[in-house]
Amino acid sequence: MERLLIIEDNYMMRLFLVNYLDKNFWVDAVATHEEGLQKLEKSNDYAVVLSDVPNNPENTGHFNAALGLLNSEGKDFVLLTSGDKSEDRVHAMQLGAIDAMSKPFNPLELELRIKSVVKRQTNNSKKRVA
């Protein structure tokens, strides 16, 4: 089973995501991007990071640091945006996200998107070995 890190400040959303996704992934979940950055600095074995985009400018520093670390290590991440606007999803992709979804979202669609990212990683690993 692949490891997934969830960074989500809303307790109920975080609990929902953990309960929904832990059937197919080993899930770690934290409430802040600062905690997420600490987890990422300690462990390099997350297949995917699922993160919300902070609405509060005070949280932007740790968010940017976490994304910078993920980008520098070539790690895939999926961002959840609170706005259902195309610009929000485009901005997430410009930050380096492999995928972006707006809240509210269909949980099955999110699960399938994460599985698609993992499958892509697996296929890329096989190509590098061959």
Length of the chain: 130
Q: What is the pTM of this model?
A: 0.87
- Exposed/middle/buried for residue 121 (C-beta within 10 Å: 0-12, 13-18, 19+): middle
Residue 4 belongs to what H/E stretch?
strand 2-7
CA distances from 59 to 7, 25, 35, 100, 124 (A): 12, 27, 11, 19, 33
Span 33-64, pLDDT tens digits:
889 989 988 987 899 999 998 776 566 788 88
The gap between the terminal CA atoms of the chain, to the nearest Å, is: 23
In the DSSP assignment, the letter for residue 81 is E
Give the range among 12-21, 22-31, 62-71, 98-107 with minimum mean pLDDT: 62-71
